[in-house]
Amino acid sequence: MGNMEPNDIPKAYDPKEWEGKLYRQWEESGFFNPDTCIEKGVTKAGAEAFSIVLPPPNVTGHLHAGHAAMLAVEDSIVRYHRMKGDRTLWVPGTDHAAIATQSKVESIIRKEEGKTRHDFSREEFLDRVGKFAQDSHDRITHQVRKMGSSVDWSREAYTLDEKRSFAVRTAFKRLYDDGLIYQGDRIVNWDPELQTTVSDDEIERKEEKSPFYYLQYGPFVISTSRPETKFGDKYVVMHPEDARYSEYAHGQQISLEWIGGNIAATVIKDESVDPAFGTGVMTITPWHDAVDFDIAERHGLDGEQIIGFDGKLLGIAGSFSGMPILEARKKIIDLLQEKGLVVKIDEDYVHSVATNSRGGGLIEPQIKKQWFIAVNKEFEHHGTTTTLKELMRHPVRPGGEITILPKQFEKVYFHWIDNLRDWCISRQIWYGHRIPVWYRKQSTDNSEQITNKTEDTEVYCGVETPEGEGWKQDPDTLDTWFSSGLWTFSTLGWPDENAKDLIAYHPTSLLETGYDILFFWVARMILMSEYFLNTQPFDTVYLHGLVRDGQGRKMSKSLGNTIDPLDVSEVHGADAMRLSLLSGTTPGNDIRLSDEKILSMRNFTNKLWNLARYVGTMSESVDHSNPEPKSDADKDLLQKLGTIVAGVTRHIDRYELSMAVDELRDFTWGDFADWYVETHKVEKNDTLLRYAFDIIIRLWHPFMPFVTEAIHQTLRLDKSEYLIIARWPEFDTTKRVIADENRFALVKDLIIKIRNIRAIYRIDPAVKLTVSARGASERTIRDNEEVFKRLARINEVKSFDTDIPTHSIPVQSGLLQAFLHLEGIVDLDAERKRLGKELADSERYAASLEAKLGNPSFANRAPEAIVTQTRTLLDETNVKADELRGHLASIS
């Protein structure tokens, strides 16, 4: 847009006119790339590095409000460090999100064509998924740009691109060669619908009401919500110290009648049983329950598969064989009732059901041969014997290299690590990183599909496809978190440990992500970086909360309360969306977002633009590099400028973005717009006005990049071509004057109190008043007389020596005192009566609210929101009463 004459500056800021154009300018300038900043002298080659990787959004659709919050936080921090002169790198990318993406495509094919992936060859299906992922990627990168994110697009990565795929294969092979990846039969979370395993972290538990059955198992009563798993139950387990069952010995066999007839059950004593739960006795189904599997492992018990991988009962179920489990459940109970083995049924039992968060299918625990990472196995690591679990612990411990914000999530992190099982990394889907293991039968018959090692099988694990004939690759793919666990260093050139970016920017400075994937992703990255590079992946973890609506509810289509960041940006501008997500937000706490909040931030964007229009009326030829204060108002502004620069800088350094935004907003709207601009209209100091506004615009740029860049290019307050490379304000301490006895602060407070008196006594705004003052108070007011008279709507300032002027009331601000003349303007007798009546009404109302809150039936039974509202009303009423008492005292 270039330089404009002041009168040419549009009256309103139009985001649509500016945002697309400005982002193209930024991107084409190359300044998102730290190498360009160094080449063009914006950043010194030896400057401190600040690096961050974008948590890669899944290529399953488009970005939501949570992603917008992530982008707003990260871009604010990145722009700040770039302006500070740091070598600043922000690596963008997307995640192939194997299960989620494949599930999405399968759903589309099923809905539109009535087909499954098995109606296509693996290559044909993967081609379809790839096209879907590319379309989604394009939408996502468009949204990232719309939010103003200053990522280095030249370094964009994809978890399934060739460089990342090479890194994944390398990582797998190293772990495999070190004996930390193994294949074994262990219990896994199986999704019968998607026909794949699911990691523990991807399980979503949903509350469900269903019958709970108490069954007679020989001399014992057991309980279950899943009778369909009980066909193979031949072990009855109890605590070894449970006195109720002391007559039964470990290993003792008991003959009893069960679902399929008479069986021999074995007594097992195990300390994991809770004697206080139910009857203190349970049977176990090792094949279909993780806890039961652990008990069986400890005691060397066998187990039998009851439910097939298709979710239907197997031959062990006899006449129920082939039935889906939900269909069979009622019939099994009918049979047990006929046998007299049903003791009772609780119809109102509420329990949590495990579902696949990536596809929604019900999870069925199964024992299956899978690939695992051994997190508890000891190995030698840089001269120390350790485990992968320990590698995840040590950098987060007190005094470790990693800080988690907020700190309370450290306890959550350690609790999860302490209970971590071996990580199942194989998935029975087609989309994703295929496991780099190949098999070849030593016999000449290679017609059979080989999926694991046998005595007659040759196994090869490698980064590249093995040479020779007859090799067949393992059909499984890797868990998505395996590849995203490498993200901080695979994006910087690893496995080339001499890669320039890896040396320059790793460990990264910050990992900013939602607290809901602390375990999914953060822990995996710590594991991978510590194992492969012997260093932490990042110095600080900043966990933002979930985005909720204005009422604190989770956003969902069913509630109709979802907010699309792209829609908001189109209507109100990206800056308003960003500020809405930053203001009032602290690490780890959920973010409340509403239309009202967004509109408020849009209004502030307009306020900033209107301030620019006012500053634009000053001559551009004014050199504002060295402003000198001419008045108390000037000194007050310089003092506050120094404070706000230091405060915003300190808050961003501590990742307290909300505090930075809220304090800067209060300063901009209050101290600068409401006070200094108004005083400037009386006491013009154009140099200081432009100087201060230049600092304000630079302070706002990380949070509101578009409108501030538009103002910068319109007014040219700074010599930098783009605001993104303007220097972060470092307030000159010589300009941090100490306002004489805070004189202007006292004058401002006096003006506010006079305005309040005008409101209390309902004085017409057109009526100008007279004040009297003496001594030091008069001198202070005289030194600021024109500003004082304009802003307090005063007609005359009088002097007096001894006697207080009649028909006046005192107005006090610290040691500054004036008397406001009200003769002929306010009937003081009538005002005493009116204020007295209002005070009595307020006191009565406060008493009624106190009585209400003191009533236990209200305080304990009313909804929390109503009780809170009542307390707030009481506080407001008491404040009003105190004000009325003060006003009454002043005219008594």
CB 788 within 8 A of CB 797: yes
CB 543 within 8 A of CB 513: yes
For CA atoms 640, 645, 646, 647, the dihedral sign is positive
Whether 558 has a pLDDT exceeding 60, the answer reads no
Q: How far apart are CA 103 and CA 429, in angstroms?
A: 9
Q: What is the largest CA-CA distance in the chain?
A: 120
Q: What digits encode the pLDDT tens for the residues 220-253?
A: 999 888 898 888 889 999 999 999 999 999 999 9
Q: How confident is the model at residue 741 (pLDDT cuts 50, 70, 90)?
A: low
* Higher per-residue pLDDT: 734 or 216: 216
Q: How confident is the model at residue 1 (pLDDT cuts 50, 70, 90)?
A: very low
The reported pLDDT for the residue numbered 448 is 43
Q: How far apart are CA 761 and CA 774, in angstroms?
A: 25
Other residues' Cβ atoms within 10 Å of the Cβ of residue 150? 22
CB 482 within 8 A of CB 425: yes
For CA atoms 317, 321, 324, 329, the dihedral sign is negative
What percentage of the chain carries pLDDT values higher than 70?
A: 93
Q: What angle do CA 767, 768, 771 make, to 5 degrees?
A: 140
Contacts of 827 by beta carbon, 8 Å cutoff, 6+ apart: none
What percentage of the chain carries pLDDT values higher than 90?
A: 60
Whether 37 has a pLDDT exceeding 80, the answer reads yes
Other residues' Cβ atoms within 10 Å of the Cβ of residue 560? 8
Q: For the ranges 50-59, 84-93, 286-295, 583-592, which has the lowest average pLDDT?
A: 583-592
CB 660 within 8 A of CB 644: no
Question: Residue range 208-214: average pLDDT?
Answer: 86
Q: For the ranges 719-728, 791-800, 861-870, which has the lowest average pLDDT?
A: 861-870
In 54-175, DSSP assigns E strands to 87-91, 93-94, 157-158
| Single pTM value for the model | 0.82
Strand, helix or coil at 4?
coil
Q: What digits encode the pLDDT tens for the residues 459-470?
A: 999 999 999 999
Nearest Cα neighbor of 754 from 779, 789, 785 is 789
Question: Residue range 868-888: average pLDDT?
Answer: 89
* Mean per-residue pLDDT of the chain: 89
Q: What digits encode the pLDDT tens for the residues 783-830?
A: 999 999 999 999 999 998 777 777 788 898 988 999 999 888 888 788
CB 151 within 8 A of CB 55: no
The reported pLDDT for the residue numbered 379 is 95
Token pair recorded at residue 752: 């506010």
Q: How far apart are CA 335 and CA 227, in angstroms?
A: 11
For 149, 510, 751, 806, 821, the CA distances from 799, given in Å and listed in that order, are 59, 62, 18, 14, 12
Q: How far apart are CA 494 and CA 502, in angstroms?
A: 7
Whether 2 has a pLDDT exceeding 50, the answer reads no
Q: For the ranges 339-348, 353-362, 377-386, 867-876, which has the lowest average pLDDT?
A: 353-362
Contacts of 139 by beta carbon, 8 Å cutoff, 6+ apart: 61, 62
Other residues' Cβ atoms within 10 Å of the Cβ of residue 12? 9
Which of 16-25, 206-215, 398-407, 881-890 ranks highest by mean pLDDT? 16-25
CB 620 within 8 A of CB 8: no
Q: What digits encode the pLDDT tens for the residues 75-122?
A: 999 999 999 999 999 999 999 999 889 989 988 998 999 988 889 999
Q: What digits encode the pLDDT tens for the residues 326-360?
A: 888 899 999 999 999 999 998 877 777 878 776 67
Q: For the ranges 17-31, 67-81, 113-127, 853-867, which has the lowest average pLDDT?
A: 853-867
The reported pLDDT for the residue numbered 358 is 65
The reported pLDDT for the residue numbered 169 is 97
3-state secondary structure 589-640: CCEEECHHHHHHHHHHHHHHHHHHHHHCCCCCCCCCCCCCCCCHHHHHHHHH
The reported pLDDT for the residue numbered 621 is 60
Token pair recorded at residue 414: 């350690």
The reported pLDDT for the residue numbered 619 is 61
Q: How far apart are CA 283 and CA 266, in angstroms?
A: 10
Letter for the amino acid at 523?
Answer: A
The reported pLDDT for the residue numbered 65 is 82
